[in-house]
Amino acid sequence: METRERPLVDVFVADKSPLVRMAMKTLLGADPRFNLLGTAEDGELFLRAVDRLTFRVGVIGWIMPYMDGATVLRALRERPEAPRILVYTGDPNPAIPREVMDLGGAGFCTKSESPERLLAAIDTVARGHMTFPYTDVTRRTAPVASPLDALTAREREMLACLAEGQSNARIADRFGISVHTVKFHLKNVFGKLAVSNRAGAVAVYVASGDRRPERPDVRAW
């Protein structure tokens, strides 16, 4: 009886640590089940890879610069052909696996686990299954609130302007404030959204599906 050889599983890795990325190259390169397409150092670069490459599994960190794991998962919910995501992190917070599950992630593995356990988790996710440490599903949280909930109404309006590609000068003119004040408020927006630049903030805005208020009150901050 002939056995059909299983095709290689294409994988892409995103982690802030160059040591982790190097270790993943070695680990996946030595396993005949997987084909590592590439690595990225942050969530923003990972999403760019999703746009230009096709791969079955994404292994991402939870804490990353520019765009963290939670933001990546929110962005991928808007993409019907998105890869399945396994979060691989050293963060011991026991609430993270549940949040990953709520955000649509397919699996979770801590960096304290053995390499064999990580490879098994990637294989499980690639086969279309989910893999998480034990969690009481009856106590799962309600759907995760939008990251924009932390913003004031005016900050949301400014974020909508960013999404339209408006410059700081144009935003300042719209609200009748100085460019310096615009920069100050945008810095607060970036901090609340856990991003470091305009592109990251716009990505969060688009992923949230938020819409600009119809009649903004430019006096309220």
The torsion of the CA quartet 203, 145, 99, 96, rounded to 10 degrees, works out to 90
Structure tokens at 129: 């299954």
The class level of CATH for 147-208 reads mainly alpha
pTM as predicted: 0.63
Q: Which residues contact 105 (CB under 8 A, 6 or more apart)?
A: 73, 85, 86, 87
Question: At the fourth CATH level, which superfamily is domain 9-139?
Answer: Response regulator (3.40.50.2300)
Which is higher by pLDDT, 151 or 10? 10
Query: What is the predicted pLDDT for the residue at 4?
Result: 55
Q: CB neighbours of 33 closer than 8 A, spacing ≥ 6? A: 6, 8, 9, 119, 123, 126
- C-beta separation of 110 from 90 below 8 A: yes
Q: How far apart are CA 68 and CA 89, in angstroms?
A: 11
The domains spanning 9-139 and 147-208 adopt the same CATH topology: no
In the chain, count H helices and then E strands: 9, 5
What sign results for the dihedral spanned by CA atoms 16, 44, 118, 137?
Answer: positive
- pLDDT of 156 strictly over 60: yes
Q: How many residues does the chain have?
A: 221
Domain borders along the chain are 9-139, 147-208
Residues 188-207 have pLDDT tens digits of: 888 888 788 888 888 888 87
Q: What is the DSSP string of 92-116?
A: --TTHHHHHHHTT--EEEETTS-HH
